[in-house]
Amino acid sequence: MTRYNILSKYGLLSFYQIFLVFIFLIIPTFSYAEGMTSPYYYAWSNNIGWINFENVTVTDSALSGYVWSQNSGWINLSPTQGGVSNDAGILSGYAWGESLGWINFTGVSIDTSTGKFSGRATGSLIGTLTFDCTNCDVRTDWRPANNAEPSAGVGGGGIVSNTGVGIGVNYIWQTGEWGACTGGVQKRDVFCVDKLGDGTVYTDKTCRTQKPISVQNCALEQEQEQKLNLITEREVDNQVRVISENNKEVKDNQNNQNNRDGKEACEPFNTDLEPGDRGDAVKRLQIFLNNQELGVTERGEETNLYGARTELAVEAFQEKYADEILIPLNLTKGTGVFGPSTRKKVNNMQLCVYNNTKMVSDRAEDAQISTTPEKQVKKQEEKPIPKIESFWVRLWRLIISIFR
């Protein structure tokens, strides 16, 4: 064999050797991103309850995505100044919740053979987030690319990105504040941004994790609470004054009703009413609204439930008499809540209360005219009569005593 052939032979073998080294040493340095295993998503916090890990992505070096709490909202696993790291199944670092602050994941681990989470994360507001409770079970499809031992020295490496330049992990979802509850729905802005960049917004496809929700349902009570939160301190003072005046007026009306002669008393509205309330007062309110042609129900079919139709009728009534009910409170639209200002207007409009007040007033005026002479006569009758006989008796006794 010539020298050239020998070099060619050994040169060819060296090429294959180098190729194999590349396969075994270079390829494992790429991370493999995996999601969570359905339906194993839930861990437990002693302060805020169940935590859902469904929208989490696990790689050989980090956790990303968002964790959801029904009570406290989203928790970001890769915030700008933190992040949860993964070192062959050993987790560390911090996640961030807008209403919970920092959460320390040191002490949490992932079983590299089963993908099951175990241990505890802690935070000042979230308390203890455990993965080991009776019904807790969080699992991921992620397994280490080369089953490396934690921090052994070799392995890990870069992260495969959408763009192929090793920075895909920096793309995160940025969420805005939830807007007002309108018509039972809340909305917020959700953008894909580079957490190390200048805030430039990218297309949704750039962020590899599942996009957080941007629309959610909200309860009617929450919408009403937001309306109440718009009331300023001055409006609160006005309401207190209205309540005080209304209570005085109701008390005066009750006193007048007690003086009525042989006529049925009219019962005023003494308490606030709102959607969901039940009782006789609700039925009387529906009767009144029907008499105002506001169409809560068919006449005679009134109920004791404060439902949606009653709420709409109250709103219409408030807007009809906005000058007396809404404008003093700096409101432009009816609230549907039967509050102090609305009660005062309804009580004033009830014919029986008006007639009662007028009747008692008339009777009082008559009493001032007709009963005053009687009282004067009575006072004259009660005036003591001078004891004339006693005087003459004493005078006679005086004369007799002189002549003796």
- For residue range 13-47, list pLDDT tens digits in order: 455 555 554 555 444 444 457 899 989 999 999 99
Overall average pLDDT of the 193-210 stretch: 77
Overall average pLDDT of the 54-78 stretch: 94
What pLDDT does residue 321 have? 93
Res. 354: pLDDT tops 60: no
Q: Which tens digit of pLDDT belongs to each residue from 269-299?
A: 989 999 999 999 999 998 988 888 887 787 8
pLDDT band at 224 (very low <50, low <70, confident <90, very high): low
For the four alpha carbons of 133, 135, 140 and 141, in that order, the dihedral sign comes to: positive
Q: How many Å apart are CA 327 and CA 344, to the nearest integer?
A: 15
Mean pLDDT of the chain: 75
Q: How many Å apart are CA 19 and CA 13, to the nearest integer?
A: 10
The residue that leads in pLDDT, 321 or 156, is 321
What residue ranges do the domains of the chain occupy? 28-218, 231-404
Q: Which tens digit of pLDDT belongs to each residue from 236-267?
A: 677 777 777 777 666 666 655 554 443 344 68
pLDDT band at 363 (very low <50, low <70, confident <90, very high): very low
Q: Among 55, 54, 56, 32, which residue's Cα sits nearest to residue 42?
A: 54
Q: Which tens digit of pLDDT belongs to each residue from 109-155?
A: 999 999 999 999 999 999 999 999 999 999 999 998 765 444 433 33
What pLDDT does residue 34 have? 84
Structural contact between residues 227 and 332, judged by C-beta atoms closer than 8 angstroms: no
Instruction: Report the top-level CATH class of 231-404.
Output: mainly alpha
Q: Quick count: other Cβ atoms within 10 Å of Cβ 112?
A: 17
What pLDDT does residue 18 have? 55
Percentage of the chain surpassing pLDDT 70?
65
Res. 67: pLDDT tops 90: yes
Q: How many Å apart are CA 239 and CA 224, to the nearest integer?
A: 17
Overall average pLDDT of the 99-118 stretch: 94
Structure pTM?
Answer: 0.34
Percentage of the chain surpassing pLDDT 90?
34
Q: How many Å apart are CA 307 and CA 290, to the nearest integer?
A: 14
